[in-house]
Structure 1
Amino acid sequence: MEYVLLPNEIEMYVDTMKAQNMECLGSPQWIEWHQRMQKLNQEALVEASALKEERVKETLVCFGKVPILVHEAILISIWKQKILPQLMKLEPQPETTIVAYSIMYHEAVCVSLLELVLFHPNCCEALDDAASDLLEYSCSNVSQLLVVEYKEQELHEKSEKEISRQKNNLVFEIGMKSLTLVRYISENLDSLPVGVKSKIFGDYDVPILFTEILTKAPWIRGDKIYSGGKWRDWDREQLGQQEAQVWLTIRQLILDPECPKYYSFTDRHRAQLMKLTSMMTPTLLDQLSPLIELKHWLCRLSVMENPSSAPKPLLIETVLDIKESILKQTEGRWKKLAKKQLPHVFPTDRETLHELAGKLCEAYNTELLEKLEAKQDAKCASCGKEAIQRCSRCHQVWYCGRQCQVDHWKEHSTDCSTNNSSVNS
């Protein structure tokens, strides 16, 4: 069995996790921290792919470290907005972008790890107050999908253009993963602070935001579909994982029994939501049968003369503690911080560059990732097509749609019962 970290290494890495400061980004100490986070992410991916005990997730919950992942993602997001532009002014054509890219990639590592572990409700609950920060961060990333497009690498790119492309593509990739994060939050609202539910319906209006995302369909590019972090051939019918996440999020929120308490179905809302009906084709409903209930609800909404418009409950305003603490800590010293980080982010010493390249190459372990990519593409247990849903009982078998799950049930039922019993024991 492939593994990246031993159990005692996982515990040591997680136990020593702590929120980083803006000033240390790019330093040798931070590079070591980045290595550890990358290895934890890879180990979590191995565990999820091999359907074995998810030690990384359990250790993060046990040690109360899940909020640190949120902190790290937000920290890098602010660095990209505030400090990176200052660095590019100081050094418009750096000799190498390896450290700058590693800092930006660190955000994607944290988001990937969150995407893996938040599949489990107890991990969502462990977010606690950080859930509000994660929701704001994720919705901001999702909204970027309305304007950003993935860019291919060009020949003989200059450093400035290379960094711009890398930043752009990471925004796209993180936005795609954020679709899943919002879905997990929406499915666990009852175990999160009450302010999160108010924000997901009010401040960020996720039902309308996700409707706009469906209209844009950023995961489609001609005859290609973005799936599993890559652009793949598309038959123009198969439902992609990202689109499935969006549909399931909308369904979860709209059909939530408490939705009317927080959400007013105004004429504007109704007009926007009605766009969904034309997208709910028989092919889509066949692949994602839970949407049938949503379609029936939308049909009823369309004939209502006065949609429900219940007042929102009075709630205490939720403070974004993580984002506010980072901004307070830096106090707007962006130029000063950029000058301090310049030697680390854009090093010129050849020996230093060689040493950094070796450390990062070891951390990224591309050989292992290539092996995982060959294994992790989920296939339907019945027909072999790309799968988008796990069995809701055992979480170990994948299907492309409801009909395949029904057809395969006779064969799967015994194993499903056994696996479900072992999970609950």
Structure 2
Amino acid sequence: MDGGGLGMTNLITPYEAEHKIEGLCNLGIELVGSTKYMQQVRTVEELNLQAHHNALNHSDEFVSDLLVTLDKIPTLIHELLVIEVWKMKVLPHLEETLTSSSMSVPVYLILQHELQVINLLECTLYHKQAVESTGGDAIVELVDYCYRKLVYLNTEAREYAESTNLDKDLSVKDVMNTTSEQELKKKMDETKFACSMCSLAVLRYLTDHLGGLDPGVMARLLDTHDVCMSLIPLLEDPPWWRVSNRTRQIESYEDNAWKALKGDERLRVNKHAAQIWLALNNLVVDPECRKKYTWTNYSIEQASHLKKYFNELLFDQLPVLKDLARVVDEIILGASYRTEEVMKSSLILEQIPEIFDSLVSRTRENFVSIAQRQAKDYFDPEDGEAIKSTKSQLESMLKSFEFLANLEDETKKQGKVGNDKDNAAGESDHVNVQIYKNLKEKGEEWEQVIDLSLKRNAKKDPEEVEQPAKELGITIKGLRCRLKVSKKSKTGTNLPLPSKGKITVSHKSNTATSTYEIPESGASKVFWISVGNLGVNQFALQLKSKLTESINDDGGVPTYVPEGGALTVRMEGQTNFVVPAGGQ
């Protein structure tokens, strides 16, 4: 297989990519969660990872080329609209089913699918050929999708950004009180925000290549949606900037995470802001756009707000904006570039987004019916197709995890291994584990039954490992330490695990929680519970429990008693690679 710029192999070969891309097809909203749909979800994820690997390493971009050659970009756009409408119209009727603990991974994959698709489009539509080869109808659908995301960014996005701006770390009690419904909503909100940010780049690429598109696309942007008036407010009150309630530092949303800005970083143009500036430059400066856009008193007043941002610091980073500054001055001085004749000629150019309209025009009863069938056939927590499909693809997922791990700069981290091992040995001395039992057969009412302290087993040295995050978000390197139960535990060290329980783990200032269920048959000598995510929680714990001969309070369920395990601590000084990777 081909190597990239980092000397690493590809996740998929060009031949495999061609086979996978040929298999992409338009799947209806009724099939979300089916085996065929989950296979396509997996395919898109692999294509997205490979496409970004190729772009980042300036190697042969065979994924993007094949999507163009095989005319599959319209298929991706169709896929984008289907999952968008499914979230809007069907998912609300499935919440009770999807909040089952066994559905967490399939639900995560489906919610992330929209982000995977728009991110793959972002990587592909960077190229002029990809934009111009896509049919006008599909591009209009994509323009409308991006506009819907602009509306969200101008309304709900700022509220979401502040809702996640916590003034302190969540306590164990707060984490325990988080319901499954709240966790599902959190994942939905995270994905919606990330998709909206990604759509800014896609919109900018469309404006880059307007000259090669149907005139109706320009009319859709300038007349139907007047996107300029949706872009300017985002520069004045950006939803990707906030002041941390915890540290009072300015934070910027980059690579799907909030990061504190230090020193000169505050003067750098955020990549989301850069996409907006470049899109505005295309729509305002381009001669054809200037002919077709009518500047009203309101739009002129909005454009005048841009003047306060024009300075040498901005021009040094985006020199092309000098033209935008000149044109804005002309507009303010009263120049108008749209005549009545041009206005009349443009009225016949509007195109209608037939795919989205056909998807959302169904009755509420129809969406309820779809949800009921999917709950029965695809999202059954025991043997639904979504569950089965996810289990069958575990090996392929692990391959993707390893691929992401290899994207890291090995040279940068070699010098830190020795120090990190010493740090991990000291930082992993104590881990607090609390285990809860659900008092209700239906619903949730948790009672703490076990409170353990685990300490590092000094007889075994920490070891460097490559471990994927549990929810397909981040893959990084960590250091694993063996643990044993400490005599300082607040409860007895021989108490059995509840057959169905919730576990909360605290390490340093970080906390993670998870649910588990002990199988009633086929008992093994050891039962493992995994908690935490290296990317989110900075650690991952594997709690090891041994089989005993005592009788569990829950009847015939095997009885296990915790005896130790392993803690993997994230290594410092390395780059996070988030699925999907950032764009160009």
TM-score bucket of the superposed structures, by smaller chain: 0.7 to 0.9
CA gap 1:301/1:52 in 2 versus in 1, 3 angstroms: same
1:94 to 75, 84, 100: 100
Q: Partner residue of 1:72? A: 79
Quick check: 1:27 aligned with 2:34?
A: yes
Task: Write the deviation string for residues 84-141 of structure 1: whole angstroms up to 9, x where unpaired.
Answer: 11112x5484333322222221111110100000000110012212000000001111
State whether residues 125 and 202 of structure 2, in contact with CA within 8 Å, keep that contact through their aligned partners in structure 1: yes
CA 261–332 in structure 1, closer or farther in 2 if over 3 Å, else same: farther
RMSD: 2.5
Scaled by the length of structure 2, what TM-score is found?
A: 0.60
Structure 1 pair 367–240 and aligned structure 2 pair: CA distance change class (3 A): farther
Other-structure match for 1:368:
403
Q: How many angstroms apart in 1 are the aligned matches of 2:49 and 2:92?
A: 30
Q: Which has the higher helix share?
A: 1
- Whether the aligned pair in 2 keeps the contact of 1:49 and 1:372 (CA below 8 Å) is no
Partner residue of 1:155 out of 175, 178, 196:
175
Structure 1 partner of 2:491:
none
CA separation of 1:164/1:263 partners in 2, compared to 1, >3 Å: closer, same or farther? same
Further displaced range: 328-337 or 118-127: 328-337
1:292-342 deviations in Å (ceiling 9; x for gaps):
1211221222222x6444232232431213213434688961011001111
Deviation of the 1:259 alpha carbon: 1.9
2:393 matches 1:359 = yes
CA pair 319-303 structure 1, distance change in 2 beyond 3 A: closer
1:218 counterpart residue number: 239
Equivalence map 1:207-286=2 (5 Å): 207-222=228-243, 223-234=250-261, 235-286=265-316
Tell me whether 1:200 sits opposite 2:225 in the alignment: no
- CA distance in 1 between counterparts of 2:356 and 2:408 reads 34
Q: Which residue of 2 aligns with 1:188?
A: 209
Residue-by-residue CA offset, 1:155-213 (whole Å, 9 max, x unaligned): 23321111111111111111111101111111111211211100100111111111011
Contact 1:264 1:309 in 2 (8 A): yes
Which of residues 329, 340, 350 in structure 2 aligns to 1:317? 350
One of 52, 55, 63 as aligned partner of 2:62:
55
Matched length: 373
CA contact (8 A) 1:125 1:188 kept: yes
Give, as a single letter, the amino acid of the residue that structure 2 aligns with 1:310. T
Match of 2:375 in 1: 342
Say if 1:210 and 1:250, in contact at 8 Å, map to a contact too. yes
* In structure 1, C-alpha distance between the alignment counterparts of 2:365 and 2:287, rounded to whole Å: 43
Distance 1:273 1:255 in 2: 12
TM-score (norm: length of structure 1): 0.81
d(CA) in 2 for partners of 1:117, 1:218: 26
The 3-state SS of whatever aligns with 1:225 is strand
Larger mean Cα displacement after TM superposition, 7-16 or 281-290: 281-290
CA distance in 1, matches of 2:388, 2:139: 40
Q: CA deviation at 1:356?
A: 2.4
> 1:239 is aligned with what amino acid?
V
Bigger strand fraction = 2
SS at match of 1:52: coil
Q: Which residue of 2 aligns with 1:143?
A: 151
| Alpha carbons 1:41, 1:113 under 8 Å: kept | yes
What are the superposed Cα offsets for residues 362-386 of structure 1, whole Å, 9 maximum, x if unpaired? Answer: 33723433443669xxxxxxxxxxx
Measure the CA separation in 1 of the matches of 2:65 and 2:322: 35
| Distance in structure 2 (CA, Å) of the matches to 1:340 and 1:79 | 14
SS at 1:333 equivalent: helix
Identical amino acids, percent of aligned pairs: 26
